[in-house]
Amino acid sequence: MKFEDAVIKVLEKLEYNGLTKSKLNKIRIGKKNRFDRVLGYIEHNKLVYSVLGHDLEYFLSPDGMDFLNTKRKEKLQQESNRIIALTGTVVALVMIYNFLTQTNLVNGFNYITIIFLVLLLGSFGLIIAFIINSIFRGN
């Protein structure tokens, strides 16, 4: 898991209620990321604040909420850009195949047709997966 993903995962756990350091330590953030380093980064950038009570408890700060929302928006934008690129790929494949059939370079059903069909189905499969994920995620 990337360091940034580990930071986001910890912030998501803190989004709705505070957690103690021992509970935060149980979050799986990958073997590469040391929890102390992630927590240090989060504290240094003031994404969380701590309250000393029975045990030191961490809460998400307003800056942390802004950071988390910004990262979520960036992720959604990246997924949208990927779908736009895939849609462009589908259009380009259809146009190329149409050109090949009009110039009689492709006659009937042969290996070039099979290659184009596989590429089109792959592109449509990714687009359909994105749509299904968007529906179930509520976006």
Q: Choose between 21 and 53: higher pLDDT.
A: 21
User: Residue 126: what pLDDT?
Assistant: 83
User: Residue 33: what pLDDT?
Assistant: 64
User: Residue 69: what pLDDT?
Assistant: 94
- The last residue of a domain, from among 21, 42, 60: 60
User: Residue 70: what pLDDT?
Assistant: 95
Residues 90-100, mean pLDDT to the nearest whole number:
89
DSSP string, 69-110: HHHHHHHHHHHHHHHHHHHHHHHHHHHHHHHHHHTTSS-SS-
**Are both 73 and 123 inside the same structural domain?**
yes
User: Residue 36: what pLDDT?
Assistant: 82
**Are both 45 and 75 inside the same structural domain?**
no
**Are both 76 and 117 inside the same structural domain?**
yes
> pTM for the full model?
0.69
User: What pLDDT band is residue 132 in, cutting at 50, 70 and 90?
Assistant: confident
User: What pLDDT band is residue 63 in, cutting at 50, 70 and 90?
Assistant: very high
**Number of domains present in the structure of the chain:** 2
**Are both 133 and 70 inside the same structural domain?**
yes
**Are both 43 and 20 inside the same structural domain?**
yes
Residues in the chain: 139
**Are both 52 and 24 inside the same structural domain?**
yes
Total Cβ atoms within 10 A of residue 88: 11
In sequence order, which residues have a C-beta less than 8 Å from that of residue 93 and are 6 or more positions away?
116, 119, 120, 123
**Are both 72 and 131 inside the same structural domain?**
yes
User: Residue 124: what pLDDT?
Assistant: 85
Q: CA–CA separation, 113 vs 101, rounded Å? A: 10
* Residue numbers of the domain that contains 125: 64-137
User: Residue 106: what pLDDT?
Assistant: 78
- The last residue of a domain, from among 42, 60, 78: 60
